[in-house]
Amino acid sequence: MIRYYITLLAIIPIFLFACGDSEKDPTPVTVFDITFEPAQLTFTSDVGEKEIVIQSNRYYTISSNQSWCTITPTVGYADETTTIKVNVTTNNTTSERTATLTFSRGADKKEYIIKQEAGKEVNYVPSGYTLVWQDEFNDPRTNEGKAVLPNSTEWFYETAAPGWVNNELQTYIAGHRGTDTCAMIYDGSLKIIAKKIGKEILSARVNTNKSWQYGYFEARLKLPGGKGTWPAFWMMPKNFTAWPDDGEIDIMEYVGYQKDVTHSAIHTKSYNHSINTQKEAEKAVADLETEFHVYALEWTADKITTYIDGKVVFTFENDKKGNKDTWPFNAPFYLKLNLAWGGNWGGAQGVDESALPATYEIDYVRVYQKE
């Protein structure tokens, strides 16, 4: 009994020493502390530059999540006052937009919000034209809160299996198939969505029931990106019998692997890509995938001209020879909106299914004609 007691007394000091050692104060951690002046920036819709004065106790990097909002410099140092310049491009949309600046120190992050006021809707319509048809896609949701499909009195679908044209990979459905919807209207725009369901890529191709001969045709669009996407805004003849004899007008085509470049073209029996005589043009424009832009066609008896945001992309003139092989554009055409996946052009550099689902957004479509 006595031995046991003595042994226990010998152990206790060791135990107490060990416990005392484990309770030493840990090394203090420096919290990432950063202040901004002003606390928030708001820009008008015009191009602009403003400054933010920053103080921080640690080194940090800065990034912007929007390409229309850029910053210089992109780093700051501990215990120094840093002034950064914030530049924004013109907001051509009719909605306010925001960008987030992220100040990072390892896993620690602080965010700063940049706001830019909505732009005014610019009127690009040439003088002498009157609005004769439009779809603003402002249809309300159903009573159950569901998005609605395009109005069947104004639009019809083309349905087709993969490989139907241009070796494209998608299956075109009539707006929806079961619970899978590829054309829906909500929040003031039509969304055409390409999505992978099982082993299929589903999408939609919608066309106007009405057709027109000559006029000014305009749509405000935001394009999907990623290798494989191929959205288009184009026209085909109402009384179609053969391609390319009856003509085709491509107001806008976009392939996701060629970022921020819009294309326009015409196709006729004499001028088409099958015989490498196509007439076409392209234009590089920033933010095609993140901002809305206005794409338009002015079609007269004399020439075809396409535009983006009021700037000419492509012009094709009537040779006035009365030959349908070179100018079949003297008959009614209807409008088409579709989102293809892959194919001869859209898939020329392969496809990347991580881009799916991809959304082609149409704010409005308007048609004007001269009185």
Distance CA 238, CA 217 (A): 16
Distance CA 234, CA 191 (A): 17
Give the CA angle between residues 155, 161, 162 to the nearest 5°. 115
Distance CA 125, CA 135 (A): 16
Question: Residues 32, 72: contact at Cβ < 8 Å?
Answer: no
CB neighbours of residue 319 within 10 Å = 10
Question: Residues 105, 30: contact at Cβ < 8 Å?
Answer: no
8-state DSSP, 28: P
User: Tokens in use for 125?
Assistant: 């319509």
Distance CA 307, CA 234 (A): 13
Instruction: Mark residue 278 as left, alpha or beta (left: phi above 0; alpha: psi -120 to 50; beta: remaining).
Output: beta
Active-site residue set: 248, 253
Distance CA 26, CA 23 (A): 8
User: Tokens in use for 346?
Assistant: 């859209």
144-154 burial by CB neighbour count: b if 16+ within 10 A, else e? eeebbbbeeee
Whether the upstream peptide bond of residue 244 has omega within 30° of 0, thus cis, is yes
Look at residues 264, 246, 261, 231 and name the one whose alpha carbon lies nearest to residue 336.
Answer: 231
Look at residues 296, 292, 316, 293 and name the one whose alpha carbon lies nearest to residue 307.
Answer: 296
Question: Residues 7, 80: contact at Cβ < 8 Å?
Answer: no
Look at residues 272, 253, 255, 274 and name the one whose alpha carbon lies nearest to residue 264.
Answer: 253
Question: Residues 105, 32: contact at Cβ < 8 Å?
Answer: yes
Question: Residues 303, 291: contact at Cβ < 8 Å?
Answer: no
